[in-house]
Amino acid sequence: MTQQPKAQQTTQQIVVLGAGVVGVTTAYQLRLAGFDVVVIERKSAPAMQTSFANGGQISVSHATPWANPRTPLKALRWLWQEDAPLLFRWRRLFGRDFDKDLWQWSLQFLWQCQARQADKNLVQMVKLGLYSREILGQVRKQTGIEYDCLTRGILHFYTDQSELQHAILPTKRMQQLGCDRQQISVDQAIGYEPALQNIQHKLVGATYTALDESGDAKVFTQKLAKICQQMGVDFLFNHQIEQLCLTKQQITGVTVTDLLNNTKKTLTFDKYVLTMASYSPKLVYPLGIKLPIYPAKGYSATYPVRDPNKTPYVSLIDDEFKLVYSRLGDRLRVAGTAEFNGFDLSLNPVRCQAITRRVAEVFGDAVDILQPNYWTGLRPMTPSNVPLIGRAVAKRQRIDNLYLNTGHGTLGWTHANGSAKAIGDIVQGKLPDIEFNFIGLDV
């Protein structure tokens, strides 16, 4: 049994608001740094929301931002397509259900679609991804944690020649930044992952990133939370976070409701870290902080594996349908799409069935499509796809003891460990070992 790492000693108490994969990895890194850590979460266990059933990929190579020059035209084309990979609910932009936040976010998103902005964002995402993958490896060595991890790389396959051609420049750009993504032939793709033979006649090419990984984010988060508890981290589950109390430039407390006995109280700490994903903006808006985060509803389906030899061990990205496939033990997790529809978490059967149809087409009877476990969660999307990591700033004035680690969008699992290590360094007054546009440090 792996001996748990020992934390340093300090008298400072810090609270992490939210217990998804970002929150729990943050708590782990802060405890290693010696802080007395408390985590507050409204659910009864960690990873019960956004981190519950995501695509399972640690995908540095999946760093092309949603906001890029080709997206606006695609989004318009998909606007009336119920199973579209990217779907903006028209009524929320115009009509009785007008959503001001979505309108403002969409305008910012369009700005980020410019080629120059998209390249800047790709650079940030690759740098954070490479760093985070390295830190995840360190955490595995420190803890011996197991979570259906496969280190067989990620293969991005294409069935459209135009899409393949448009992937060449981003692939070369990622190579310049140190990401090992390589363009490969169809035969090479089948060699890496024979489970693609069923659609070999439709493939036009692929890229492969050997050092990328896959694994179950929920299992990782819940096991790491137990390790954190063994290290002395306290978790307050079933506690609804209501508001932060601000006096001048200091947070003086957080008001919470104990959902089990319906009592309200205010807790005080030395420092506060916000890791509440899509729910982050609402909490800090009364403080004068406007976070450019909007929830993007993503879907996943988990299928029992019937034939292990015909189900992928290499994690896959299906460009045409914007889906990812990850083998999690005796299960196949398939996830993707983004639907901008506020905080609605209802399952749309059209979008669910579209996933299952594609799975049947790609893998035939190798998985049991009659027993899908559908799920949907809200990804905290920034217009740039780059997360917000650093000190909080209210009306151009830094709040001394409030830190942000949120807005990770579709790459929360990929970027969690790196952003956690970085925010841990920032809380200690150190500059992280990564060149990244951290916020609030120069105010």
CATH number at residue 410: 3.50.50.60
Beta strands 331-340 and 86-88 are parallel
Residue 155 lies in a domain: yes
pLDDT at residue 92 in the model: 67
Q: Are 55 and 300 in contact (CB under 8 A)?
A: yes
Counting Cβ atoms within 10 Å, is residue 314 exposed (0-12), middle (13-18) or buried (19+)? buried
Residue 437 lies in a domain: no
Residue 32 lies in a domain: yes
Residue 363 lies in a domain: yes
Residue 357 lies in a domain: yes
Angle formed at CA 220 by CA 130 and CA 218, multiple of 5 degrees: 110
Going from the C-alpha of 427 to that of each of 69, 201, 385, 422, the distances in angstroms are 36, 53, 23, 9
Residue 436 lies in a domain: no
Count of domains for the chain: 1
Token pair listed for 89: 């609910």
Range of the domain at 27: 13-71+113-428
pLDDT at residue 94 in the model: 72
Give 9's Cβ-side CA count (13 Å radius): 0
11 CB neighbour count, 10 Å cutoff = 8
Token pair listed for 327: 């083998």
Residue 7 lies in a domain: no
Residue 361 lies in a domain: yes
Q: Are 400 and 384 in contact (CB under 8 A)?
A: no
Q: What is the pLDDT along the chain (443 residues), one digit of tens a residue?
A: 455 676 566 579 999 999 999 999 999 999 999 999 999 999 999 999 999 999 999 999 999 999 999 999 988 888 778 888 888 876 666 767 788 899 899 999 999 999 999 999 999 999 999 999 999 999 999 999 999 999 999 999 999 999 999 999 999 999 999 999 999 999 999 999 999 999 999 999 999 999 999 999 999 999 999 999 999 999 999 999 999 999 988 999 999 999 999 999 999 999 999 999 999 999 999 999 999 999 999 999 999 999 999 999 999 999 989 999 999 999 999 999 889 999 999 999 999 999 999 999 999 999 999 999 999 999 999 999 999 999 999 877 889 999 999 999 999 999 999 999 999 999 999 999 999 999 988 64
Which DSSP helix (H) or strand (E) runs through 73?
Answer: helix 71-78
CA dist., res. 281 & res. 112, Å (int): 20
